Structure 1
């Protein structure tokens, strides 16, 4: 069976534990064919005003829509969910976590373009999708990409972010090929997704701008305090602090 690449984005009622998927947009790239799926869903969970501010989806847009797991797009995603295929998402843990609430547990190889970008482009001011949309001038090619896929992009549409993500993926693949010329760039992106990111310097707090190595030399106790006392410390920072203390 030919490999397929699923480039996906969700919109949700919010970012909390009880929030749910209200839009699923994805493009499936095969050897010879392209599929586009883009659907709104009803939900028992009300959309938070903060979420509306981000994606512009209002309750009236969801009236008479199916639940996510009853939809054509969701059922097709389940059919595609095999280990030969690839799932490409920007900040994959969020979207996959939301899809898990609908009963979807990915069997695909995952490429998280956010993590790949942090590895390959560590010195960027930000790694958000919209940041790269402007920094890399991806917006200039969006309409051409939409026309090629036969997609009509409307305001507040998940498929619009999918198009940007598809363009970003091309740029990241080129950067990965340049950095690792002897390796398959797609497999390397899967590998980078699962590799801890070495954070070099603080972007917050009293040591903002200082490298972890500098702080390890001058105030190792602060780093040890972070490890033991900061419950929300992400795994990459934990890995990086341990690395700095070990070095």
Structure 2
């Protein structure tokens, strides 16, 4: 079974926790607010529009329906599909759930199979891949409103991205890509944005070394790619 998962959180740091979870399977659409046990900062609310008042009476994750459902679905034969799966899995592990099945990371697979795009965020791909042409029908059939940065809406857009990716590679290949580092060819940001990392390594290796040593929240595939090209010098 495929399980499409998206979460909203109090932030992106180690101390942050879940404040909402959206999940789609062939049998259900599930959304639930979660009391994170800590304050949701305005910077996070500005993205997902979840406030402290909204979660004040919500259950903790351990007492939530989401926890019960995930525990029942956490079996080796099920496949979890998420956009930036390592982050989602790390958030679940904070709540005591270590995923047992296979994983498809649509972010990593998009980077690997479409390496010439300007961006890979969920909302960017929504427009780059022209998912909007079919999303009204798809969302209406699922009974889900289209709301960017809402966990259930984002889970359905993740399903649409997977459908697109399956025209480029089969399920086994997507699972394999999701396990591996993706070798990126271009730098996504900075003063050399969109330039080939291999060329930057030859012309200005110091800049790449600075990025790798200074940007602690750098994407794991970008860090791997920078190291790969620097080691070839």
**What TM-score results when the alignment is normalised by the length of structure 2?**
0.88
Deviation at residue 163 of structure 1 after TM alignment: 1.4
Contact 2:7/2:18, CA 8 A, preserved across alignment: yes
Deviation at residue 172 of structure 1 after TM alignment: 1.1
Identify the residue that residue 183 of structure 2 maps to in structure 1.
Answer: 198
The runs of 5 or more residues in structure 1 that have no matched partner are 177-184
Q: Secondary structure at the match of 2:176?
A: helix
Matching of residues 131-210 of structure 1 within 5 Å: 131-152=124-145, 157-176=150-169, 185-210=170-195
1:111-136 deviations in whole A, cap 9, x for unaligned? 00000000011111100000011222
Q: Are the structure 2 counterparts of residues 73 and 221 from structure 1 closer, same or farther at C-alpha, using a change threshold of 3 Å?
A: closer
- 2:8 corresponds to 1:23: no
Q: Are the structure 2 counterparts of residues 15 and 240 from structure 1 closer, same or farther at C-alpha, using a change threshold of 3 Å?
A: closer
Identify the residue that residue 5 of structure 2 maps to in structure 1.
Answer: 8
> Which of the two has higher C-alpha Rg?
1
The root-mean-square deviation of aligned C-alpha atoms, in Å, is 2.3
Q: Secondary structure at the match of 1:110?
A: strand
Q: Distance in 1 between matches of 2:22 and 2:185?
A: 35
Identify the residue that residue 232 of structure 2 maps to in structure 1.
Answer: 246
Matching of residues 65-80 of structure 1 within 5 Å: 65-80=58-73
Identify the residue that residue 98 of structure 2 maps to in structure 1.
Answer: 105
1:204-241 deviations in whole A, cap 9, x for unaligned? 445444423323434456556666x4463554334323
Deviation at residue 56 of structure 1 after TM alignment: 0.5
Deviation at residue 51 of structure 1 after TM alignment: 0.6
Identify the residue that residue 88 of structure 1 maps to in structure 2.
Answer: 81
1:129-159 deviations in whole A, cap 9, x for unaligned? 0001122222332332233234455686311
Q: Distance in 2 between matches of 1:241 and 1:119?
A: 15
Identify the residue that residue 54 of structure 1 maps to in structure 2.
Answer: 47
**What TM-score results when the alignment is normalised by the length of structure 1?**
0.83
Identify the residue that residue 116 of structure 1 maps to in structure 2.
Answer: 109
Deviation at residue 59 of structure 1 after TM alignment: 1.9
Tell me how many residue pairs correspond in the alignment.
231
Contact 2:118/2:188, CA 8 A, preserved across alignment: no
Q: Distance in 2 between matches of 1:19 and 1:238?
A: 23
Report which structure shows greater RCO (CA 8 Å, sep ≥6): 2
